């Protein structure tokens, strides 16, 4: 996964959020650590679906060869697999809805597991691009594996839309087959900094980053935007379990908030160990941390957690949430709606007769329409033209939506 540059005043954004939450909100509690207060920010309990959103079913009149295939390439297993599962279930739902409505165009779906590991991703990607029936791909979820595989897609002219990889440098490689279905970390970092210092009113922020391409890139954009509010920073590694050295530095720095740039597999034990040492201020993570697995793994230590993400909460889109829950006996998670929208773009192209790799690539390049989560139109590098970053918090043991941040 990888992630996002926004600039306007957070004070105004926070006021808007509070006003927006008045009609649809749930309560919460405040807690303190030193001079830091964890604001009781209300949750927004519904978001509207764009009236003209393109849906997978189309007009029901599509025809295509029975071999027509879309694919997911990304994590199905591995330490951060839940984020990948959220995505491919969103894709599966879109394809199932399409096929139910279009008897003459039954699109096949194949999955290729990378375990989320850049060192393992090239094999599954090479296999996917070698299968001529695969016309488009949703993936890869993470920035490191996206970086490792972009040239493979480019060489074969196979369009791929990442629903979650946010490292800004991914669109600087000259790839014409790569499209990002959300904002990048050049947008998320400044928005996160504004959220920390504005909405959460932190005067001192301690920043911890992991060793992934995602974590490194997001830490830089966030740290740069924090400026003098950055009280210190430290690095951890993928798979690390003992964070005592980092926690000691954090406690000594006496920050008002901690921002973790990385994934939930390490963020959860870090938060747990941090709270055990007496820290009770805000613990803020990006989209790589924003998952129910973080709450499950961190337990009570997650109660003061907040998240930033260039993703909209699919669970608040009532129809989508019900359809997803009925299909998978679980609520949609982080990136489920992004996976669904990305698949819908590709399915819409197939329904409009774009049934070669070259034609489907051209379709995505010129695409300009609403999805359920956002408007999808890309610039010449594959970046969305109008991305937004959103805020979340843990409330009553669940991830609750706050609203747009950093605008």
pLDDT of amino acid 406: 78
pLDDT tens readout for residues 202-244? 999 999 999 999 999 999 999 999 999 999 999 999 999 999 9
Q: Residue 26's pLDDT band (boundaries 50, 70, 90)?
A: very low
Q: Residue 36's pLDDT band (boundaries 50, 70, 90)?
A: low
Answer whether residue 192 is part of any domain: yes
Answer whether residue 252 is part of any domain: yes
Answer whether residue 1 is part of any domain: no
Answer whether residue 201 is part of any domain: yes
Answer whether residue 5 is part of any domain: no
Do residues 147 and 81 both lie within one domain? Answer: yes
Q: How many domains does the chain have?
A: 2
Question: Residue 18 above 50 pLDDT?
Answer: no
Answer whether residue 307 is part of any domain: yes
Do residues 112 and 213 both lie within one domain? Answer: no
Do residues 159 and 244 both lie within one domain? Answer: no
Do residues 242 and 372 both lie within one domain? Answer: no
Do residues 304 and 235 both lie within one domain? Answer: yes
Q: Residue 248's pLDDT band (boundaries 50, 70, 90)?
A: very high
Do residues 96 and 82 both lie within one domain? Answer: yes
- What's the chain's average pLDDT? 90
In terms of residue numbers, what domain contains 366? 69-182+315-377
Do residues 143 and 43 both lie within one domain? Answer: no
Do residues 293 and 319 both lie within one domain? Answer: no
Do residues 87 and 198 both lie within one domain? Answer: no
pLDDT tens readout for residues 137-188? 999 999 999 999 999 999 999 999 999 999 999 999 999 999 999 999 999 9
Answer whether residue 60 is part of any domain: no
Residue with tokens 């087959």: 177
Do residues 272 and 394 both lie within one domain? Answer: yes
Do residues 233 and 367 both lie within one domain? Answer: no
pLDDT of amino acid 150: 98
CATH number at residue 372: 3.40.50.2300
Answer whether residue 2 is part of any domain: no
Do residues 239 and 287 both lie within one domain? Answer: yes
């Amino acid at each position: 996964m990888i992630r996002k540059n926004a600039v306007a005043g957070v004070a105004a954004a926070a006021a808007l959020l509070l006003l927006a939450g008045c009609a649809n909100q749930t309560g919460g509690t405040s807690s303190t650590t030193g001079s830091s207060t964890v604001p009781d920010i209300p949750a927004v309990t519904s978001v509207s679906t764009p009236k003209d959103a393109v849906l997978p079913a189309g007009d029901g009149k599509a025809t295509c060869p029975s071999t027509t295939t879309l694919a997911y390439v990304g994590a199905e297993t591995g330490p951060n697999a839940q984020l990948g599962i959220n995505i491919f279930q969103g894709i599966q739902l879109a394809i199932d809805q399409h096929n139910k409505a279009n008897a003459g165009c039954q699109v096949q779906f194949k999955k290729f597991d990378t375990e989320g590991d850049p060192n393992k991703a090239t094999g599954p990607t090479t296999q996917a691009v070698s299968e001529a029936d695969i016309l488009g791909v949703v993936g890869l979820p993470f920035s490191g594996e996206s970086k490792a595989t972009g040239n493979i897609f480019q060489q074969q002219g196979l369009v791929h839309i990442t629903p979650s990889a946010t490292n800004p440098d991914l669109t600087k490689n000259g790839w014409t087959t790569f499209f990002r279905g959300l904002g990048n970390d050049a947008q998320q970092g400044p928005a996160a900094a504004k959220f920390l210092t504005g909405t959460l009113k932190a005067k001192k922020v301690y920043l911890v980053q992991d060793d992934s391409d995602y974590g490194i890139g997001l830490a830089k954009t966030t740290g740069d935007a924090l400026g003098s509010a950055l009280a210190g920073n430290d690095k951890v590694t993928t798979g690390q379990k003992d964070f005592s050295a980092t926690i000691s530095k954090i406690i000594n720095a006496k920050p008002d908030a901690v921002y973790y740039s990385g994934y939930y597999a390490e963020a959860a034990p870090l938060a747990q160990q941090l709270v055990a040492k007496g820290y009770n201020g805000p613990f803020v993570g990006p989209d790589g941390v924003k998952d129910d697995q973080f709450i499950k793994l961190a337990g009570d230590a997650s109660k003061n957690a907040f998240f930033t993400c260039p993703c909209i909460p699919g669970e608040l889109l009532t129809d989508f949430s019900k359809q997803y829950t009925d299909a998978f006996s679980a609520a949609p998670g982080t990136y489920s709606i992004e996976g669904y929208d990305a698949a819908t773009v590709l399915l819409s192209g197939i329904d409009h007769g774009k049934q070669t790799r070259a034609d489907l690539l051209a379709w995505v390049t010129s695409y300009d329409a609403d999805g359920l989560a956002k408007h999808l139109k890309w610039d010449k590098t594959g970046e969305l033209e109008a991305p937004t970053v959103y805020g979340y918090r843990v409330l009553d043991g669940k991830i609750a939506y706050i609203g747009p941040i950093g605008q």
